[in-house]
Amino acid sequence: MVSNKSKFFIALVFAGIVIGCDSEKYFEEYKKIENASWAAKKQLSFKVESIDTHIEYNLFLLVRNTKTYTYQNLYLFMDIMSPSGKMERDTIECLLADITGKWYGDHAGDIVDNKIWFKTNYQFSELGTYRFTFEQAMREESLTEIIDFGLRIEKKQ
């Protein structure tokens, strides 16, 4: 029979493993897309606090869509505004499915979860709050079947 002390130790080790598995995560946040319909001019913004300008990061987009999303990709306009107001603008293509329609992300039921790497070796050049802003650029007034959209920043290992 296993003692209470042993059970506690096993639980503690398990908790440490679970927590330690995501040690590279620096920032992660999702925004819910109202009625799974992303309007063309609707901006989604994320505020990220820079606390170290010497560390490199990998940046990911998190896209949750239904399997009835009609495109294989998602085009985005992205702005990154530094604490001093310097603006960096980019256009990003997120590939969500191959040409046969097979989804790339993890899926359960009708939902597909995508983690899309879009910047590597990124360094915050200033201390303070950065604002990451995204707009869908699919030439649709209302892009349907996108449920959630997020940003994840990981410390480069």
Dist CA 67 CA 102 (whole Å)? 10
Q: What element of type H or E holds 13?
A: helix 4-20
pLDDT tens digits, one per residue of 18-72: 334 556 899 999 999 999 999 999 999 999 999 899 999 999 999 999 999 999 9
Asked whether residue 13 is domain-assigned, the answer is: no
Asked whether residue 12 is domain-assigned, the answer is: no
CB 154 within 8 A of CB 24: yes
Asked whether residue 3 is domain-assigned, the answer is: no
Dist CA 122 CA 155 (whole Å)? 9
Asked whether residue 2 is domain-assigned, the answer is: no
Asked whether residue 75 is domain-assigned, the answer is: yes
Dist CA 111 CA 149 (whole Å)? 13
> How many domains, in total, are found in the chain?
1
Question: Per the structure block, which two tokens stand in for 20?
Answer: 């330690």
Query: What's 96's domain CATH number?
Result: 2.60.120.260
- What is the CB-side half-sphere exposure of residue 44 using CA atoms within 13 A? 25
Asked whether residue 19 is domain-assigned, the answer is: no
Dist CA 157 CA 94 (whole Å)? 24
pLDDT tens digits, one per residue of 75-127: 999 999 999 999 999 999 999 999 999 999 999 999 999 999 999 999 999 99
Question: Per the structure block, which two tokens stand in for 73?
Answer: 């990709």
Domain, as residue range, for 46: 25-155
Output the DSSP codes for 52-119.
-SS--EEEEEEEEEETT---SEEEEEEEEE-TT--EEEEEEEEE-B-TT--B-SEEETTEEEEEEEEE
φ, ψ of residue 4 to 5 degrees: the values are -60, -35
Asked whether residue 70 is domain-assigned, the answer is: yes
Asked whether residue 114 is domain-assigned, the answer is: yes
Q: What is the pTM of this model?
A: 0.84
